[in-house]
Structure 1
Amino acid sequence: MTTTTRDLAGLTARIAELAPGLRVETGPGATGPYAYDASNYRVPPRAVAFPRTAEDVVGVVRACREAGVPVTARGGGTSMAGNAVGRGVVLDFSRYMNRILDIDVPARTARVEAGVVLDALRSATALHGLDFGPDPSSHSRCTLGGMIGNDACGNRSVRDGRTSAHVVALEIVTAGGVRAVADHTGLQPLDPHDGASVARLEADIKRLVGENLALIRTESGRIPRQVSGYQLHRLLPENGFDMARALVGTEGSCAVVTAATVRLVATAQASALLTLGYDDVVAAAEDVPEILRFAPSAVEGMDEAIVATMRARRGPDSVTGLPEGHAWLYVELEGDDQAEVNARAAALLDALEAQGRPTGGRVVESPAERRSLWRVREDGAGLAARLVDGGESWPGWEDAAVAPEHLAAYLRGFRKLLAAHGLTGVLYGHFGAGCVHVRIDFDMATDDGRGVMRQFLTEAAALVVEHGGTLSGEHGDGRARSELLEVMYSHRMIAAFAAFKQVFDPEGLLNPGVVVDPAPLDADLALRELPLVETTFGFPLDEDGFAGAVRRCVGVGRCRSDAGGVMCPSYRATGEENDSTRGRARMLQEMVRGETVTDGWRSTEVRDALDLCLSCKACSSDCPVGVDMATYKAEFLHQHYRGRLRPRSHYSLGWLPTTSALAGYAARPVNALLRGPLGKLLARLGGITTERRIPAFASRRALRNTLRAAKTAEPVKALLFVDSFTRAFRPRVAGAAGRVLADAGIPCAPQEGLCCGLTWVSTGQLGTARRIMARTVTALDNGDSRPIVVAEPSCAAAFKRDVPELLGTEAARRVADRVRTFTGALTDLADEGWTPPPLPESVVLQTHCHEYAAFKGHRPADLLRRLGVHTVDEAEGCCGLAGNFGFEAEHYDTSIAVAGLALTPLLDRLDGRPVVADGFSCATQIDHLTGDQDMRALHLAELLDPAADQPGETT
C-alpha cells in the first residue's frame, strides 16, 4: 500500500467516524467525472462525499482539517471558471441535500438546502405566484449553492440583479467545522457552545473592515456586475455589516454554504418579447442605453454563429422569429397589464427604428417561437463550444462586464484585441447589464497556444479595466481569472482579500487556488495533445476522431436536467453524476488521457459508467455540443470485448435478427416453448429478464399474407423496408404501412430479407454490423433513387446515422439520404389532398428516442395534429425499454424507473384513448406496463389504416 493510498484510507476512516453513514467515493470510476466542471480545467480529487445533512458536512470539514486536505463545495458542476474542482475532497450537494425546507408566502422567502436546483425552487414557488429572480441559462441544473458561490445573475438581471440581492441568510460551516448563520446583522452560532469562536470571527472581520474603510469604498462595488474579488463593501457601516451578502460570491473559499434563506419576487402578469436584428454585436450594443430607458426585464445578445449551429444541429425550424441580421438582441418587457406592456414594446420599436441601427425588429407573439428563441440563448455556451464548421471554442474570458453605456466601446476594443492575436470569439450574453460571454478558439493543447492565451487574457483584463469594468460579471474568478485580479485591484485591496480569507480559513483549505493565493491561469488545463485512437466508427465530424468526439462534452450539464427534451433518461432515474451523459463523457476523456484510467479500452470503470446508458441517442440531439453517447458506447463495447467472451445478452439479443428469422419457420412451437417453464430457463441462460414476457414470434406465412394483402398497384413510388422487428414480431405493421402509404399516394414495393445491423451496433459487435450493413447497402444502392420508408424508427435511424458512419462509403450515404420514417414519408411525400380515415379526438403518444434524435422536423405529434387529432398527450422522455437494454436482467429495474418518469403516468390516465408507439421497443414496454388493461400500443400506420381485419394478423 502506497503512502497516498494509506493516507486516503485514513482520511475516509476518519470521515466515517465523524459522519457515520456518509457516502464517500474514491477511485477513478467515482472521482473521474468530478475532476471537471464546465471550465478549461481538470483537477482530480482524492474523494467525493455526498452529504445528506449539515452535520455530515461538519464531519468532512473537521476530518479534512485534521489531515490538511482541501475541501471544495460543488453544486451542479456547471462552473465555467474552474470554481468547482479541487484536489482534496469534493462535496456534491446536488445528490441528497436538495430539499426545499420552507416557503413563506406572506414573507416572500424560501429556505432551501444548497443542492436545490433552481428550476425545482421555481416550480414550487410558481404555485404561489412567486419566483426566484436570478435565472442563469443553466437554470434547469444549476443549484442555489452554486449560484450563491458565484453570485450568479441570469437573463433577467436587468430587472433582478445578482443572487446577492436576493439572499436573506446563509447557513454555513466554517473551516473549523463550526455551524453558523450569516445574515444582514452579522454572524450567529447555531450551537451555543460555539458562541465564543463565532464572536471572535465576527470581531476580526469588523476590525479588518474598519482598518480599510476608504479602500473598500473606492474599489469595491463600483458597477452593478462587479463580481470579481470579495464583496467587502457589503460589510461597510452604511450597508449594515451584511455578512450574508458578503459571503455570496466567495466561491466556497471562505465557508461552506449548506442552506440559504432567499427572497422571492412576484411573477409578472404580462410580458412581450422583441427580437432585433443588427449588422454586428457592436451595433447591437450601441442601442442598449436607449433600450434601458424602457425598463426591460431582459436584454440578451448573441451573434450569428450560435444561430447557425442551432439550425445545423436541430433543423432549420429550430430557430424562428429572428429578423434579418448577423447579430440579435432579445428584449423582454414585463408588467401587470398586457396593454401597457404592448404599448411600451411598440414605443421602443419606434424609438429604435428612428435611430436607424436595427436591420429589423418584431414582437414575437407565438409562445412556441418564444420558447424556441429562449432555448437558443440558454444553450449558448454549449452551441458556441462546437460550431457548425466543427471549430472548437473555450471559456476563460467569458464573463467580463462593463457599465452598459460603455459596452459598445469595450466590444470594439475587444474585437481588435482578438484580431491582433489571431483569435476568433463567439459572443453572446447579458447586454443589458453590460456582461458579455465569449468563447474563444484558444489552442490550449500546445505550449505556443497556451502562451497566446496567457498574453491575450492579460491584455483583455487591462482592456476591461480601462473601460471601468470587471473581470467577472457572474461566473466568478475561479482558476480562470483569480491570477488577473491584480490587474483590476490595488495591492492593498488584494491584501485585504487575503486577510478576509485568512480570518475565515486560516489554513487555506477551502477551495484553495481561487481568488486568494491563486493558481496560475494556465495550470491544470484539461486540453492537451493526445494520440489518435484507432476506432471502427469514423467520427467524420471530429478532427481528432474518437478523442475529439468525447471532447465534445465541455460540462455545461444540460444532460442533468430533470425536464425538457429527452436526455438523459438514466440520470433522471438515478440522479447520479456517473449516469449522466456528462459523467460518461468525462470517464471516456479520462480513458483517452490514460492517467487515472490506465487500462484503456479494457477499463472496467468506463464499462461500469456506460452500463446504464440506454443508447437512446437523445443526447446527440439534446446536448448543445452534440455528444452521441450511444455511438461512443457501441465503440467502447466493441473494443472492450474484442477477442473476449461477451455478456450473454449480447449473443441472445444482439443476434436477434438471425434467431428471429429462424424462429419464423416454426413460430407456433417456439412460442409455446418460450411461454412454458423452459422459456424462463432459456431467458436466464441468455441474460434476459424473466419479469417480461418474451414477445411472440410471427410466422413466415403471416408475413407473406400481410405483404400480399398490402401489395399496391404500379407505379411504385417508394420502397417499404420491412425491418427485422416488423418481420419477426408485428408483420401487421408492414401491411398497415403499405395500405396507408398507397392511400396517401405513395405506393410502395416491400423490401424484405435485409437488416440495418442495429442490434449488433447497440451490443458493440461492430465487425458483424459492418458485414450486415454492407450487404444491405449493396442490395439497396442499385441505381434506384426512390425513397426508402422504414416503419421501425430505430432501424430508420440506424440507416440514417450508423450505416454511413460505420461504412464510410458513398453508397452508404446515398442510401441514408433516401431513408424516411413512416412519419417523414407522410409529411414530405403524401398527396396534398390526402385525407386519412376518421381519427380519435385524443391519443397518447410515445415517440421513439431515435426518431426524436435523428429526424428533427418530422415529429409524429405534429403529423397527428395536422391530420385532425385534437389532443396529443406525448410522453416527454424515453420509454425505458430501449432495444436490448430493458430486456437485460440487470437493467429491468432501471428500465421501469425510466418509464415511470413520463410514460407510466400517462398510461395511468388513458381513459380508453389509443396509445401510439411506432417503435417496437416502445410498444413492447407499453404492452408490459398495461398488461392487465387488455390493450396494446398501435403503430401510427395501424391508427391510419384505411382497412381493418386484414389477413396475416396472426402468428
Structure 2
Amino acid sequence: MPSTPLTLASDRFHPLRAGGIEVDTAPRRLSEYSYDASNYRVSPVAVVFPRSVDEVVAVARFASAEHIPLVSRGGGTSMAGNAVGAGIVLDFSRYLHAIHSIDLTAQTAVVDSGVILSTLQREVAAVSGGTLTFAPDPSSRTRATIGGAIGNDACGNHSVRHGRTSDHVLALDLVTAAGIRLTATRTALTATDETDAAARALAATLTAGLRQLAADHLGEFRLELGRIARQVSGYHLSHLLPEHGFDVARALVGSEGTCAIVVAATVQLVPQPQAALLLSLGYDDVVDAARDVPTILEFSPAAIEGIDEAIVQTMQARRGADSVQGLPAGKAWLYVDIDGDDPVAVAAQGEKLLARLRENGRLLAGRAVPDLAERASLWRVREDGAGLSARLASGGESWPGWEDSAVAPKKLADYLEDFRRLMAQFDLTGVIYGHFGAGCMHVRLTFDLRSASGRQIMDDFTRAAAELVVRHGGSISGEHGDGRSRSAMLPIMYSPAMMAAFARFKALWDPQQLLNPGSIVDPEPTLAHLTLAETPNRVWRTSFDLTPVGQHGSNSGLDSFSHAVQGCVGIGRCRSDVGGVMCPSYRATGDEKDSTRGRARVLQDMIRGARTVKEGWRSEEVREALDLCLSCKACSSDCPAGVDMATYKSEFFDNYYEGRLRPISHYSLGWLPRWLKLTGLMAPLVNLVLGSTLGTLIARLGGVTTQRRLPHFHAASAWKKMLPPTTSTAPADVVLFIDTFTRGFRPDVAGSAQRVLQSAGKTVECSAEVCCGLTWISTGQLSTARRLLRNAAQVLDDGTDRLIVVLEPSCAAALRKDLPELVPTDAARRVSQRIRSFAGAVTELAADGWRPDWAGGQAPASVTVQAHCHEYSVFGANAQKAALTAVGVGEVREATGCCGVAGNFGFEQAHFDLSMIVAEQALAPALRALPPQQAVLTDGFSCHMQVQQLDPARQTHHLAQLLDPTRLPKDTK
C-alpha cells in the first residue's frame, strides 16, 4: 500500500505535465471520477487522460516511484466499484480508442483498450459487410470499453452462444505497474519490444513464477475454478494449467486491472448470422421462466434474457405506454433469440420451440417478433434494466451489491426460489432481470443505504446470499467482477489455498500492490466508502417540487433535491454516441464533465459537502459543470434512471445567482417574452435596426452571438389577423394556446392550427393571455417563472376538461411538466393533464377518425422532421412520427438529435460554436441528404432557427402548416 500521503501539492504532478501528459487535479474533475456505477465513492488524487502507450508507461513509472495507486478506467460503468480508487485514475476512453486493424481472413481485430464495444461492432460490420462481429454485447456496450470488458470478463446478452470476453481474447498488450511493456498471448508472455532487455527479463521471471504457481496448485485450479460457464469471481488461474496451454492472456482477463494495465488487445471476431428471430415469452413469475430455460437451451438459442414486471412498468411510466411493444401476457418475460442463415429454418425452429414450451405448461403466452421496431423496443427494456430498476415507477429505489450471482442454468429455478425466501427473511424486495440462459442474475435490491442499520442489513444479506449461491454450486459474480462489492466474500466461495494462490498471482504482477487496490486481493470491508453513508441530512430549499413518486404527504425525511440528484447511479447511457438524444454536449466534447452523469456526480458531491465541492449553491465547480448543459431535457427520458439535468440546472442557477449579477444573456434572452411585448409595438423598426450595424452592436451587448441569423419580429396583433373567421358563440371544444414564440415570430402558424382543428370538426378558442415562463425556467429565474405559471394555471383552469393545444413544443412541455412541479396545486395539475402538443392533438384527432384534406387527394410520400427535444422528452420520442403516420404520410424521416439551439443556449455568444457542433450530430447531415427544394418540419422555434442557420434557402414548416387545408406546401410531396 502507498506510503506517501495522498494529498497533493500543486506541483506534485509537474513531471507528467512537463511531458505533455494531460493531468487534471481540479476539484470538479475529482468529483466526476470519484464514482462509477456502484454503491461506492472514492476520490482520486488525479485523473490522467493518456494519448499514447508511451504516456501510460510514463504515468506508471511516475506512480511507482511516488507509491501512488493506479486505477484503469474505461466507460466507468462498473457496478462492483472496480473503476474507482484513491490514486491516479487512467481514463482510456477519451483518447486511446483507435481500431488499428481488422483482418477479415484471420477474423481478428487489434484495438486500443478505450474503444467502445458498439463502435468496434459497427466498424467490423462495415468492413465485413455485416458478416462478422465482436461477440460480447453487455447492455452497457454503447459506452463500455474493450479494456473494461477485459477487466470484468464481460459477457452480454448473447453469451449463451458466444461465452465471455475471455473466449475472444487472443493477446493483450500490457503495461506493468513498474512501467514495462509486455504482451500476453494464449501460450506465452513476452516483451512487447524484443529489444527491451528489462522487458525480456521481467517476462522470463513472470513466466517462471506463473508456471510454478500453477504447478503448486494443480488440484485447487482443477477442482475450484471453471465449474460453471459464468464463474467470473477471483482470478481465472485455471488457464495456466498445462492442459490449457499456459494461456496467460485469458488468465488476465477478469483481473479488474489489479495485475497489469491493458493498453490494447487482439480479439477474435465471429460470424454474424444472417437471419434472426426474437421470441417473446410471458410467464407468471421468474421462477416459472427459469424452469423452462433447460428446454429452451435444447434448441441452441443465441440468447435467453429475462425481465420482470417492475422494469416494464417503470419504462412505460417514464417513456409512455408505447415504449414497450410486443410483450405477451405475463408478469415475467424471456427474450429468446433464434438465429441461423436460413430465415425459413429459423422461423420453423421458433415455432417448434413455442410448441414445446406450451407442452411444458408454464408458458402463459408467447409470440415471434419479426418486426425490427418491436424487437428494438423490447431489447431496450432489457438493456436499460439496471437504470430502470434503480428508480421504479412505484417510487421505490434499488441498489446493486448482489446484482451479479450466477449458477448453472439447470439450477437457476431452484436457486431463485431459495433466493426469494432469503429476500423475504431480510424483508427485502428486488427487481430481477438478467442472462437466464447463462444462469446469471442481475438483481437490484431495496437496501436502505442511508441508515447504519440498513447498511448492516445489506452486509448481512450479501454474506448470506454468497453462502446460498455457493451451496447451489454458483459464483458470487457472473460478469460484473468482484470489486469493492464482493471481494471480501471470496473466502466464502474459495478455499484458503485458493485465496493464497490469488494473492500470490497478484504479487507476481504487482509487488508494490499499486494497481486497483481493494479489488479481489486484500479488500477493504464491503461497507467502506459507501456513497450514501456520508450524505448529510440537509434540506435543500428548492422551487421545483421534486418529491419522489409515492412520497407526497409522507414523513420519509428524505430531502427531495438530494434524492433527485442521487437518481444518477452511473449507468452512463449519457456517454453513448448512438441512439436517442442524450447527451448532446457530451457527444460534442467527449468530456465526462459534459455528460449527464458527470454533472450529476458533481451535484452529488455538492449535497455531500465534499472537499472537492464545498460551496453548496454557490459552488463554482457545479456552475462550470452545468455551463454546457443545453437544457434539452432529453436525459429525463433517455436516462434509464430518469435524471432531469435541465431541471437541476435551473434550480442551481436560481440559487447560484441569487443576489448576484447574472450573465447579460439571462436578461436579453431570458426575458424574451417581456421584450416581445415592446417589439410587437414597433416590429418594422426593430427589424430595420437589427439588420444594421447598430443591431450587431446591440446583439453583442446583449450577450447574443452575432454569427447567428436573428428572427424576424412581428407586430403584436399579427397572429390575430391570421385566424379564420368564426361565428360560433357556444363554448369551444378546444383551447388553442398561442405562445410567445408563435405570437412574436411565427404568427401564421396560429391561423394554420385553427384551420386544421376546425377541419376536424372542432370549435376553437384561442388563448394568448398567459405565458409558460419557459425562458425564465431555462435561465434559472424561478420566482418569475413560478409567478407566470401560477397565473397560467388560474386562467386555464376553467372548470372543463377541454384539450389545451400548444403550438410551440417547448411551451407545451413547460405547461405539462414544469407547471405542476413549480406550482404544486390542484389547478396546476388539472391544467397539466389537459396540455397537448400540436402533434399529440393531431394523433388523437386521427384516432377518432379524422383525416386531413390533402391537396391532390393524398398525403406526402415522405416528410423529414426535426423533433423538438422537449417534445421528445415530455410527450414521447415518437410524438411527431406518430402524428404524421396517423394522417397517412408514407415515410417519416427523423433527424433524431438535438438541433443545438435549445432555446437561449445556441443564441448565446459563448455557446454558438458548441451549438453548431451539436447540429452536426443529426440535423446537419439530414439536411445535406435532402433535395434542396424539400421542406423540413420544425414545430420548435429553436429547431426552425437552426435550420435557417445551417441552410438559409431551406423552407421549414410547422406541422399545422403541413396540414393546413388551405395551403399544402408543394415541396413536401
* Cα offset, 1:533, TM superposition: 1.2
Structure 2: gaps spanning 5 or more residues: 550-557
Task: Give the partner amino acid of 1:130.
Answer: L
Asked if structure 1 preserves the Cα contact closer than 8 Å seen for 2:739 and 2:768, the reply is yes
Asked if structure 2 preserves the Cα contact closer than 8 Å seen for 1:289 and 1:404, the reply is yes
Indicate which of 752, 755, 758 corresponds to 1:736: 752
Task: Give the partner amino acid of 1:810.
Answer: D
Cα displacement string for residues 93-149 of structure 1 (whole angstroms, at most 9, x for unaligned residues) = 110111111100111001110010011001011121211111101111111100000
Per the alignment, residue 354 of structure 1 pairs with 359
Asked if 1:876 is matched to 2:896, the reply is yes
Asked if 1:751 is matched to 2:758, the reply is no
Asked if 1:853 is matched to 2:873, the reply is yes
Per the alignment, residue 467 of structure 1 pairs with 472
Per the alignment, residue 120 of structure 2 pairs with 121
Identity over aligned residues, as a percent?
A: 56
Asked if structure 2 preserves the Cα contact closer than 8 Å seen for 1:77 and 1:84, the reply is yes
Task: Give the partner amino acid of 2:905.
Answer: F
Cα distance in structure 2, aligned partners of 1:823 and 1:745:
17
Asked if 1:581 is matched to 2:582, the reply is no
SS in 2 for 1:234: helix
SS in 2 for 1:45: coil
Indicate which of 542, 549, 567 corresponds to 2:582: 567
Cα distance in structure 2, aligned partners of 1:307 and 1:5:
45
Cα distance in structure 2, aligned partners of 1:280 and 1:869:
41
Asked if 1:866 is matched to 2:886, the reply is yes
SS in 2 for 1:388: coil
Asked if structure 2 preserves the Cα contact closer than 8 Å seen for 1:11 and 1:63, the reply is no
Q: Structure 1 residues 94, 65: closer, same or farther in 2, change over 3 A? A: same
Task: Give the partner amino acid of 1:909.
Answer: A
Asked if 1:258 is matched to 2:263, the reply is yes
* Cα offset, 1:709, TM superposition: 5.5
SS in 1 for 2:170: strand
Task: Give the partner amino acid of 2:67.
Answer: G
Q: Structure 1 residues 235, 468: closer, same or farther in 2, change over 3 A? A: same
Per the alignment, residue 606 of structure 2 pairs with 591
Asked if structure 1 preserves the Cα contact closer than 8 Å seen for 2:854 and 2:968, the reply is no
Per the alignment, residue 173 of structure 2 pairs with 171
Indicate which of 369, 376, 380 corresponds to 1:375: 380
Per the alignment, residue 244 of structure 1 pairs with 249
Structure 1: gaps spanning 5 or more residues: 951-955
Task: Give the partner amino acid of 2:62.
Answer: A
Task: Give the partner amino acid of 2:589.
Answer: T
Asked if 1:532 is matched to 2:530, the reply is no
Cα displacement string for residues 24-78 of structure 1 (whole angstroms, at most 9, x for unaligned residues) = 1112211111100000000011110001111111111111111110000000000
**Number of equivalent positions:** 944
* Cα offset, 1:556, TM superposition: 0.5
What does 1:345-744 align with in structure 2 at a 5 Å threshold? 345-528=350-533, 529=535, 530-541=537-548, 543-596=558-611, 597-707=613-723, 716-744=732-760
Per the alignment, residue 841 of structure 1 pairs with 861
Indicate which of 179, 185, 201 corresponds to 2:187: 185
Cα distance in structure 1, aligned partners of 2:40 and 2:524:
11
Per the alignment, residue 941 of structure 1 pairs with 960
* Cα offset, 1:281, TM superposition: 0.9
SS in 1 for 2:828: helix
* Cα offset, 1:716, TM superposition: 2.1
Cα distance in structure 2, aligned partners of 1:511 and 1:572:
29
Per the alignment, residue 330 of structure 1 pairs with 335
Task: Give the partner amino acid of 1:441.
Answer: T
Asked if structure 2 preserves the Cα contact closer than 8 Å seen for 1:710 and 1:738, the reply is no
* Cα offset, 1:905, TM superposition: 0.5
Cα displacement string for residues 789-843 of structure 1 (whole angstroms, at most 9, x for unaligned residues) = 1000000000001111001011111111111111111111355143332343222
Task: Give the partner amino acid of 2:339.
Answer: E
What is the TM-score with the length of structure 1 in the denominator?
Answer: 0.97
* Cα offset, 1:355, TM superposition: 1.3
What is the TM-score with the length of structure 2 in the denominator?
Answer: 0.95
* Cα offset, 1:706, TM superposition: 1.5
Cα displacement string for residues 393-446 of structure 1 (whole angstroms, at most 9, x for unaligned residues) = 000000010111111111111111111011111111111111111000111111
SS in 1 for 2:650: helix
Task: Give the partner amino acid of 1:870.
Answer: G
Per the alignment, residue 70 of structure 1 pairs with 69
Per the alignment, residue 771 of structure 1 pairs with 787
Asked if structure 1 preserves the Cα contact closer than 8 Å seen for 2:934 and 2:955, the reply is no
Cα displacement string for residues 702-734 of structure 1 (whole angstroms, at most 9, x for unaligned residues) = 233123658878662111111000101110111
Per the alignment, residue 902 of structure 1 pairs with 922
Cα distance in structure 2, aligned partners of 1:708 and 1:283:
62
* Cα offset, 1:538, TM superposition: 0.9
Cα distance in structure 1, aligned partners of 2:22 and 2:401:
33
Task: Give the partner amino acid of 2:780.
Answer: G
Task: Give the partner amino acid of 1:154.
Answer: G
Asked if structure 2 preserves the Cα contact closer than 8 Å seen for 1:879 and 1:898, the reply is yes
Name which of structure 1's ranges 824-833 and 48-57 shifts more when overlaid on structure 2.
824-833
Cα displacement string for residues 345-393 of structure 1 (whole angstroms, at most 9, x for unaligned residues) = 1111111111111111111122111111101000110111111111010
Asked if structure 2 preserves the Cα contact closer than 8 Å seen for 1:571 and 1:577, the reply is yes
Cα distance in structure 2, aligned partners of 1:782 and 1:298:
54
Asked if structure 2 preserves the Cα contact closer than 8 Å seen for 1:479 and 1:518, the reply is yes
Cα distance in structure 1, aligned partners of 2:385 and 2:968:
52
Asked if structure 2 preserves the Cα contact closer than 8 Å seen for 1:712 and 1:748, the reply is no
* Cα offset, 1:215, TM superposition: 1.7
Task: Give the partner amino acid of 2:565.
Answer: V
* Cα offset, 1:16, TM superposition: 2.6
Cα distance in structure 2, aligned partners of 1:705 and 1:431:
64
Root mean square deviation, CA, Å: 1.5
Cα distance in structure 1, aligned partners of 2:348 and 2:587:
43
Cα distance in structure 1, aligned partners of 2:239 and 2:727:
79
* Cα offset, 1:785, TM superposition: 2.8
Q: Structure 1 residues 858, 784: closer, same or farther in 2, change over 3 A? A: farther
* Cα offset, 1:8, TM superposition: 4.5
Task: Give the partner amino acid of 1:94.
Answer: S
Cα displacement string for residues 629-652 of structure 1 (whole angstroms, at most 9, x for unaligned residues) = 110000000000011110100000
Asked if structure 2 preserves the Cα contact closer than 8 Å seen for 1:35 and 1:44, the reply is yes
Name which of structure 1's ranges 200-209 and 632-641 shifts more when overlaid on structure 2.
200-209
Asked if structure 1 preserves the Cα contact closer than 8 Å seen for 2:6 and 2:87, the reply is no
SS in 2 for 1:450: helix
Per the alignment, residue 555 of structure 2 pairs with none
Cα distance in structure 2, aligned partners of 1:809 and 1:346:
54
Task: Give the partner amino acid of 2:593.
Answer: N
Task: Give the partner amino acid of 1:146.
Answer: G
SS in 2 for 1:436: strand
Asked if 1:83 is matched to 2:104, the reply is no
Per the alignment, residue 786 of structure 1 pairs with 802
* Cα offset, 1:680, TM superposition: 1.1
Cα distance in structure 2, aligned partners of 1:885 and 1:581:
17
Cα distance in structure 1, aligned partners of 2:154 and 2:382:
17
Asked if structure 2 preserves the Cα contact closer than 8 Å seen for 1:482 and 1:514, the reply is yes
Task: Give the partner amino acid of 2:539.
Answer: L
Name which of structure 1's ranges 454-463 and 8-17 shifts more when overlaid on structure 2.
8-17
SS in 1 for 2:405: coil
SS in 1 for 2:441: strand
* Cα offset, 1:936, TM superposition: 2.8
Q: Structure 1 residues 711, 140: closer, same or farther in 2, change over 3 A? A: farther
Asked if structure 1 preserves the Cα contact closer than 8 Å seen for 2:314 and 2:392, the reply is yes
Asked if 1:885 is matched to 2:926, the reply is no
Asked if structure 2 preserves the Cα contact closer than 8 Å seen for 1:710 and 1:735, the reply is no
Per the alignment, residue 953 of structure 1 pairs with none
Cα distance in structure 1, aligned partners of 2:723 and 2:617:
45
Cα displacement string for residues 595-642 of structure 1 (whole angstroms, at most 9, x for unaligned residues) = 121100000110010011110111111111111011000000000001
Cα distance in structure 2, aligned partners of 1:473 and 1:949:
59
Cα distance in structure 2, aligned partners of 1:711 and 1:275:
55
Indicate which of 798, 812, 821 corresponds to 2:828: 812
